[in-house]
């Protein structure tokens, strides 16, 4: 805990309901002496100090320090305010573990109660943002407890606070301190009788930090910092802005109520002085504004505020912005011209929108992958991966499985596609357990008291095969059966005991399984499209040549303006998410889709989602219906089919092309039965390399058996051996592209 007592810092002192202009600043250490003298000379009615302390003799600049305050008022029924004050104090005691002696409870002397928690409890640090942090902390507590009588507009750096044992001129009663027990048990009449005179009170001086309170403070300090950083990124610097007044200024210009007038006058004066108004113009503007206030400020008070603000701007001491409390209070981001659209500079946004209107935009993406990242071949696979990533911004994201031999570019192509999408949307996942997925990618939802893994608009790339338990957990999301699922699991605590916790998985992300080997049983392989990279000696030679070129001339392979444009375009698609797509010719798609196998139902959905992804990518070139749906075009079928035609056989069996190629090699040897040794020979001839029996079985024959392409049985002639029987199921195309295109008259 900080040992600084800030006694040399300044505090604003005000006697009377009219605010002193310029403000009267005294040293904190002199407060008791000044108060005693002030009461003796001018009485004890309406005496205030600022909630916060200031390091310099100017309350408008620099960091501030002070305790967390709450003001609970109900002019019509004081009992309602008392009940909420009791609820609030109990929360502070139990949830934040704050000692009662550190909670200063007061009856205001009129229509409510005030509570101030000593700053030492939270170990607050001097900060210009402290009023915003306090407001954020108070708002969470108010929302959690359902409080309706807490004033959330008091959190500003120059807020005045009535001092205990001074009288309220509106009631003649004193503001008095109460114990928690008195707050809970005394009647309102008893409290008012106590408030007929000052109360002697020993102020506690020894305040201990509460770890929970400290954590609560740090949470909101980080939250406010993050919000301000994000807002700063989205806001045009005020010095560069020449447009109309932002909504917060427009709202203040309509006039404000008592309690907001001084801060509004100061903020408006600084704002218009920064925009170039001279003193005469500024006074004219502010006096016109003052007539709309209820009631207006006195002319002398307003003029003194305007002149003080103008002088501060001239000396470059004063400025206002989005973090200024009175402006933050009336912020309307949806109408604010200062807010940058999607954090994309206007010139880049223009290029990105032009890109999205280009019919050849997908070709430009593929070309950029080749020029910048050295991609070679694999056009259908690269289209599939890119459309899968785009699909996360649709209402029906896609699931893609990349089955491949390690080192042939399966994972590479998934990660390559993801490079064009916002980093916060891409989750790159290794071989993690279900609890690791929840804890590493989830956040604690205090309202539900459970972990929440929000996967809306995310691209989940499994660079390693997920554990089966993870796949089982994700299964309802893969098939879009449920948009949110609740999951119960257990984990060991530090003491070794098992505890059960609840987690919610929310949203349909785009899934890309790039770990080479996914289950091929029907319950899984029907939930994704399966694709494979091209494997050939010619492609291997081209890849090596491209790598050699990159080592020789690395400057040729740098991200360029086109890369930046594509990224901005994807950000624009994100801004429109979720994009709903209507496929008006879906009945004719269904007519030409194979129905001979029951699994085709899910594959039809996946093919349709691929078409929808193309429509999302080309949404700036597609019409919209009155309901807001983007209308898919036959061109989207053409785009989707370029990827799908290479995936039909691999999708049916859930196997990579390398496995299907081995099965075809077995079929073409003129026999339907082989021993393991014979199969190894065929493998070596096909792939020009040897393989052990163990690897042959685990990585090649077992997947083929699971897909129903081979049977592995005992050899009836020698039961010590296994025999491989090659099955020959009929294989046909899932979709008759030519017949469909002929029917719709597209050529």
Q: Is 96 or 701 the better-scoring residue by pLDDT?
A: 96
Say what the pLDDT of residue 746 is: 73
132 assigned to some structural domain: yes
Please tell me the pTM assigned to this model. 0.56
Instruction: Write a three-state SS string for 687-700.
Output: HCCCCCHHHHHHHH
Structure tokens at 635: 């061109």
Say what the pLDDT of residue 364 is: 95
Query: Do the beta carbons of residue 387 and residue 617 sit within 8 Å?
Result: yes
Q: Which of 214-218, 221-225, 394-398, 501-505 shows the lowest mean pLDDT across its residues?
A: 501-505
Domain CATH number, residue 188: 3.90.920.10
Structure tokens at 609: 């989602």
Judgement on whether residues 335 and 348 belong to the same structural domain of the protein:
no
Say what the pLDDT of residue 522 is: 64
Judgement on whether residues 287 and 348 belong to the same structural domain of the protein:
no
Strand partners of residue 103: 117
Domain boundary among 608, 630, 656: 656
Q: How far apart are CA 473 and CA 494, in angstroms?
A: 25
Judgement on whether residues 480 and 552 belong to the same structural domain of the protein:
yes
Instruction: Write a three-state SS string for 66-92.
Output: CCEEEEEECCCCHHHHHHHHHHHHHHH
Residue that has been written with the tokens 């500024």 in this structure: 282
Q: Which of 137-146, 468-477, 516-525 shows the lowest mean pLDDT across its residues?
A: 516-525
Say what the pLDDT of residue 740 is: 93
In the predicted structure, residue 428 carries a pLDDT above the cut 70: yes
Say what the pLDDT of residue 54 is: 95
Judgement on whether residues 514 and 644 belong to the same structural domain of the protein:
yes
Q: For residue 323, what is the enclosing H or E element?
A: none
Judgement on whether residues 320 and 389 belong to the same structural domain of the protein:
no
In the predicted structure, residue 236 carries a pLDDT above the cut 90: no
403 assigned to some structural domain: yes
Rounded average pLDDT over 463-467: 82
Q: Is 51 or 333 the better-scoring residue by pLDDT?
A: 51
For the stretch 149-159, pLDDT in tens is 999 989 999 99
Asked if omega into 295 is within 30° of 0 (cis), the reply is yes
In the predicted structure, residue 3 carries a pLDDT above the cut 60: no
Query: In sequence order, which residues have a C-beta less than 8 Å from that of residue 24 and are 6 or more positions away?
Result: 12, 13, 14
Q: Per-residue confidence at 663, pLDDT binned at 50, 70, 90?
A: confident
Residue 519 buriedness (CB in 10 A; 0-12 / 13-18 / 19+): middle
Query: Do the beta carbons of residue 213 and residue 121 sit within 8 Å?
Result: yes
Say what the pLDDT of residue 696 is: 86
Query: Do the beta carbons of residue 25 and residue 8 sit within 8 Å?
Result: no
Rounded average pLDDT over 711-722: 81
Q: How far apart are CA 491 and CA 487, in angstroms?
A: 13
Task: Count CB-CB contacts under 10 A for residue 223.
Answer: 15
In the predicted structure, residue 161 carries a pLDDT above the cut 70: yes
Q: How far apart are CA 311 and CA 313, in angstroms?
A: 5
Residue that has been written with the tokens 């973090």 in this structure: 323
Say what the pLDDT of residue 240 is: 58
DSSP code string of 424-440: GGEEEE-S--HHHHHHH
Say what the pLDDT of residue 205 is: 67
Q: Which of 127-131, 153-157, 331-335, 631-635 shows the lowest mean pLDDT across its residues?
A: 331-335
Q: How far apart are CA 489 and CA 501, in angstroms?
A: 6
In the predicted structure, residue 626 carries a pLDDT above the cut 70: yes
Rounded average pLDDT over 245-268: 90
528 assigned to some structural domain: yes
The HSE-up count of residue 561 (CA atoms within 13 Å, CB side) is 6
Task: Count CB-CB contacts under 10 A for residue 116.
Answer: 19
In the predicted structure, residue 316 carries a pLDDT above the cut 90: no
For the stretch 398-419, pLDDT in tens is 999 887 776 666 788 899 999 9
Give the Cα-Cα-Cα angle 505, 509, 600 (nearest 5 degrees).
Answer: 105
Query: Do the beta carbons of residue 79 and residue 188 sit within 8 Å?
Result: yes
Judgement on whether residues 183 and 248 belong to the same structural domain of the protein:
no
464 assigned to some structural domain: yes
Q: Is 70 or 60 the better-scoring residue by pLDDT?
A: 70
Judgement on whether residues 96 and 205 belong to the same structural domain of the protein:
yes
Judgement on whether residues 387 and 322 belong to the same structural domain of the protein:
no
Q: How far apart are CA 624 and CA 113, in angstroms?
A: 56
746 assigned to some structural domain: no
The CA-based diameter of the chain, rounded to the nearest angstrom, is 118
**DSSP label at residue 707:** T
742 assigned to some structural domain: no
549 assigned to some structural domain: yes
In the predicted structure, residue 104 carries a pLDDT above the cut 60: yes
Say what the pLDDT of residue 324 is: 82
Rounded average pLDDT over 713-738: 83
Judgement on whether residues 195 and 100 belong to the same structural domain of the protein:
yes
Say what the pLDDT of residue 607 is: 94
Query: Do the beta carbons of residue 444 and residue 500 sit within 8 Å?
Result: no
Residue that has been written with the tokens 């700036």 in this structure: 620
SS3 668: coil
Say what the pLDDT of residue 473 is: 85
The overall average pLDDT reported for the chain is 88
Q: Per-residue confidence at 369, pLDDT binned at 50, 70, 90?
A: very high
Query: Do the beta carbons of residue 531 and residue 380 sit within 8 Å?
Result: yes
Say what the pLDDT of residue 516 is: 58
Q: Which of 121-135, 237-251, 567-581 shows the lowest mean pLDDT across its residues?
A: 237-251
Give the Cα-Cα-Cα angle 460, 466, 469 (nearest 5 degrees).
Answer: 115
Say what the pLDDT of residue 52 is: 96
Task: Count CB-CB contacts under 10 A for residue 77.
Answer: 12
In the predicted structure, residue 203 carries a pLDDT above the cut 80: no
Give the number of domains in the chain: 4
Judgement on whether residues 176 and 303 belong to the same structural domain of the protein:
no
Q: How far apart are CA 616 and CA 613, in angstroms?
A: 5
The HSE-up count of residue 470 (CA atoms within 13 Å, CB side) is 19
Judgement on whether residues 138 and 157 belong to the same structural domain of the protein:
yes
Query: Do the beta carbons of residue 387 and residue 640 sit within 8 Å?
Result: yes
Domain boundary among 273, 306, 339: 339
Say what the pLDDT of residue 629 is: 94
Judgement on whether residues 579 and 522 belong to the same structural domain of the protein:
yes
207 assigned to some structural domain: yes
Q: Is 618 or 404 the better-scoring residue by pLDDT?
A: 618
Domain extent, residue 322, equals 236-339
In the predicted structure, residue 110 carries a pLDDT above the cut 90: yes
């Amino acid at each position: 805990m900080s040992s600084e007592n800030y006694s040399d810092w300044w505090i604003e002192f005000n006697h009377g309901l009219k605010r002193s202009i310029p403000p009267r600043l005294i040293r904190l250490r002199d407060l008791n002496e000044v108060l005693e003298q002030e009461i003796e000379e001018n009485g004890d009615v309406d005496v205030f100090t600022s909630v916060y302390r200031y390091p310099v003799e100017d309350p408008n600049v620099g960091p501030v320090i002070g305790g967390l305050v709450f003001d609970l008022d109900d002019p019509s029924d004081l009992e309602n305010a008392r009940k909420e004050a009791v609820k609030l104090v109990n929360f502070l005691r139990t949830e934040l573990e704050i000692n009662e002696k550190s909670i200063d409870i007061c009856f205001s002397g009129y229509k409510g109660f005030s509570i101030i928690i000593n700053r030492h409890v939270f170990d607050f640090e001097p900060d210009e943002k402290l009023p915003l942090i306090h407001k954020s902390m108070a708002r969470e507590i108010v929302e959690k407890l359902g409080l309706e009588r807490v004033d959330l507009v008091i959190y500003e750096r120059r807020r005045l606070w009535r001092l205990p044992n001074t009288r309220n001129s509106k009631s003649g009663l004193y503001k008095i301190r109460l114990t928690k027990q008195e707050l809970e048990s005394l009647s309102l009449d008893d409290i008012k009788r106590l408030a007929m005179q000052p109360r002697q009170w020993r102020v506690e001086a020894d305040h201990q930090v509460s770890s929970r309170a400290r954590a609560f403070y740090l949470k909101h300090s980080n939250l406010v910092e993050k919000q301000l950083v994000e807002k700063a990124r989205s806001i045009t610097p005020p010095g560069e802005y020449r447009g109309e007044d932002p909504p917060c200024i427009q709202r203040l210009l309509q006039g404000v109520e008592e309690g907001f007038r001084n801060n509004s006058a100061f903020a408006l004066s600084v704002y218009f002085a920064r925009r170039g108004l001279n003193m005469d113009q500024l006074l004219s503007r502010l006096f016109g504004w003052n007539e709309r206030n209820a009631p207006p400020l006195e002319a002398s008070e307003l003029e003194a505020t305007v002149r003080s603000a103008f002088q501060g701007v001239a000396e470059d001491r004063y400025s206002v912005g989005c973090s200024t409390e009175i402006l933050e209070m009336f912020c309307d981001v949806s109408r604010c011209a200062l807010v940058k659209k999607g954090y994309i500079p206007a010139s880049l946004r223009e290029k990105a929108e032009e890109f999205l209107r280009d019919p050849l935009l997908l070709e430009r993406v593929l070309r950029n992958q080749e020029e910048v990242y050295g991609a070679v071949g694999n056009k259908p696979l690269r289209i599939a991966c890119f459309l899968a990533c785009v699909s996360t911004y649709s209402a029906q994201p896609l699931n893609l499985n990349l089955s491949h031999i390690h080192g042939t570019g399966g994972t590479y192509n998934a990660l390559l596609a993801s490079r064009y999408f916002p980093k916060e949307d891409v989750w790159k996942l290794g071989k993690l357990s279900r609890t690791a997925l929840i804890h590493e990618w989830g956040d604690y939802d205090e309202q539900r008291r459970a972990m929440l893994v929000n996967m809306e608009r995310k691209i989940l790339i499994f660079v390693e095969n997920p554990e089966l338990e993870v796949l089982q957990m994700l299964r309802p999301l893969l098939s879009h059966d449920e948009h949110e699922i609740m999951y119960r699991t257990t984990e060991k605590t530090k003491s070794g005991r098992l505890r059960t916790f609840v987690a919610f998985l929310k949203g349909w992300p785009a899934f890309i399984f790039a770990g080479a080997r996914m289950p091929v049983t029907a319950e899984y392989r029907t939930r994704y499209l399966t694709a494979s990279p091209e494997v050939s000696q010619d492609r291997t030679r081209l890849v090596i040549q491209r790598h050699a070129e990159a080592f020789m001339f690395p400057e040729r392979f740098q991200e360029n303006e086109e890369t930046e444009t594509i990224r901005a375009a994807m950000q624009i698609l994100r801004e429109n998410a979720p994009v709903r797509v209507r496929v008006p010719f879906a009945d004719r798609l269904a007519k030409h889709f194979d129905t001979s196998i029951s699994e085709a139902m899910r594959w039809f959905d996946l093919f349709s989602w691929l078409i929808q992804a193309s429509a999302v990518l080309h949404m700036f070139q597609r019409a919209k219906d009155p309901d807001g749906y983007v209308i898919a075009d036959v061109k989207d079928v053409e785009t989707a089919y370029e990827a799908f035609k290479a995936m039909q056989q691999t999708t049916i069996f859930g196997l990579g092309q390398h496995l299907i190629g081995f099965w075809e090699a077995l079929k073409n040897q003129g026999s339907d039965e082989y021993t393991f040794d014979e199969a190894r020979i065929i493998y070596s001839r096909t792939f020009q390399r040897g393989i052990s029996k163990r690897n042959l079985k685990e990585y090649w024959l077992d997947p083929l058996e699971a897909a129903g392409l081979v049977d592995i049985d005992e050899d009836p002639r020698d039961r010590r051996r296994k025999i491989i029987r090659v099955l020959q199921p009929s294989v046909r195309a899932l979709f008759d592209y030519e017949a469909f295109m002929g029917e719709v008259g597209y050529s």
